[in-house]
């Protein structure tokens, strides 16, 4: 195999949003890929399984020979054609496999024989993942501010309004609550970590702001170093009146959810799936609510769906309001009581907390010139 070009596992490749050709098997890609990657495997899952068995039983050379037999003739031509189609649209695309070894070398060689020369990443997926995880660990040493508050205080919107906000719920594709599941599949743990690391590439050495989260956001776990930094970080607390929060939770749980389901599934199926989603979310609170309260909320929810179908969207407030006051609010206040050591730099309404976060960020970036966070109270 002739000498083939390499590029270093530089995170600038991700920051520049370079298109990456992942030649690993689909099962590997599903477990976690690099941001911006498209999966065009050298071997499919079954071919990879058979080659792996051959390697264990008869060694590397026998495995290579089996791979050459399995991926030959029309199969080889189809895979080279798929790679070349991507390169026609993205001539600066880069190739990687798990460790930057044999699979990406074979793909490079076949692409070269088809008339194009593209590099592979030295160390492959593994080296790039290590670099992303190191970026998260490094961020745990940066100034960090946590935004807390009762459910419905639009904390995520506040994070998104900041140029130094890190939206962990967006990375996890989950709102971090019993009703937080997203209609689209959640990312794998690896893809969640990669999304967090990718966002942090835009914040090198800068102070940044996150929402107060538990360690678990849906199926995703916040990386330990970042979580420990969040636990020790100073906090803001957003406080908004119940009516305001009820409007916000209606937007989050009903209006926005409906738009996602309608966009991806159409009117009829989207409506059916949204009802199932919300009914299932409520049912999962059985132990916390108790049978009597759950039955009452389920009746109110069913009535709200009937009214919604007739055009009365506001009917959902009948079950959303007690959900806030009887479930979410007591749970949040209990967490506050459990952690009396938490210090709040500022407690106020949404707009004052937004300004407090901006002032804190400026203070951390230029402490000798910025105003004090106390001035925004």
Please list the active-site residues: 97
Q: Closest by alpha carbon to 277, among 294, 306, 262, 257?
A: 257
Pinpoint the alpha helices (H) of 284-349: 286-289, 291-309, 317-323, 329-338
Q: Which residues pair with 217 in a beta bridge?
A: 220
Q: Which residues, at least 6 apart from 47, have a Cβ–Cβ distance to it below 8 Å? A: 25, 67, 70, 71
β-pairing, 235-238 with 94-96?
unpaired
Which residue from 274, 297, 276, 277 is spatially nearest to 286, judged by alpha carbons? 297
The beta strands (E) that lie in the chain are given as: 6-7, 20-22, 37-39, 94-96, 120-121, 144-149, 165-166, 208-211, 216-217, 220-221, 235-238, 344-348
Contact 324, 242 (CB under 8 A): yes
Q: Give yes or no for a contact between 131 and 175, defined as CB atoms under 8 angstroms apart.
A: no
Query: From the centroid of its chain, how far is CA 274?
Result: 21
- Select from 27, 22, 28 the least CA-distant residue to 94: 22
Q: Report residue 60: phi and psi, to 5°.
A: -65, -45
Maximum distance among all Cα pairs of the chain, rounded to whole angstroms: 73
- Helices and strands of the chain, counted as H and E runs: 19, 12
């Amino acid at each position: 195999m002739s000498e083939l070009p390499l590029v270093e596992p530089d995170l600038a490749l991700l920051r520049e949003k370079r298109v990456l050709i992942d030649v690993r098997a689909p099962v590997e890609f599903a477990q976690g890929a690099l941001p911006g990657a498209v999966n065009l495997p050298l071997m499919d899952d079954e071919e990879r399984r058979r080659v792996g068995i051959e390697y264990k039983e008869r060694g590397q050379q026998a495995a290579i020979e089996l791979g050459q037999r399995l991926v030959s003739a029309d199969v080889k031509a189809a895979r080279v054609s798929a790679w070349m189609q991507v390169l026609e649209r993205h001539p600066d695309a880069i190739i990687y496999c798990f460790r930057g070894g044999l699979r990406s070398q074979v793909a490079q060689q076949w692409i070269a024989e088809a008339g194009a020369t593209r590099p592979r990443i030295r160390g492959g997926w593994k080296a790039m993942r290590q670099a992303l995880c190191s970026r998260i660990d490094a961020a745990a040493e940066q100034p960090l501010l946590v935004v807390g508050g009762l459910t419905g205080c639009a904390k995520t919107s506040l994070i998104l309004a900041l140029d130094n906000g890190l939206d962990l719920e967006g990375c996890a594709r989950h709102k971090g609550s019993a009703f937080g599941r997203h209609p689209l599949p959640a990312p794998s743990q690896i893809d969640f970590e990669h999304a967090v690391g990718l966002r942090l590439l835009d914040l090198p050495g800068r102070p940044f702001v996150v929402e107060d989260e538990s360690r678990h956001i849906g199926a995703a776990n916040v990386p330990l170093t970042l979580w420990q930094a969040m636990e020790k970080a100073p906090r803001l607390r957003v406080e908004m009146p119940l009516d305001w929060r009820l409007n916000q939770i209606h937007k989050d749980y009903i209006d926005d959810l409906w738009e996602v389901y309608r966009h991806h599934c159409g009117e009829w199926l989207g409506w059916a799936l949204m009802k199932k989603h919300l009914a299932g979310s409520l049912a999962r609170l059985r132990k916390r609510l108790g049978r009597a309260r759950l039955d009452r909320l389920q009746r109110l929810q069913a009535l709200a769906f009937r009214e919604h179908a007739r055009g009365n969207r506001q009917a959902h407030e009948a079950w959303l309001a007690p959900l806030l006051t009887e479930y979410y609010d007591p749970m949040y206040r209990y967490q506050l009581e459990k952690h009396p050591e938490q210090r709040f730099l500022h407690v106020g309404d949404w707009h004052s907390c937004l300004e407090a976060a901006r002032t804190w960020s400026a203070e951390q970036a230029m402490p000798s010139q910025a105003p004090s966070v106390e001035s925004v109270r």
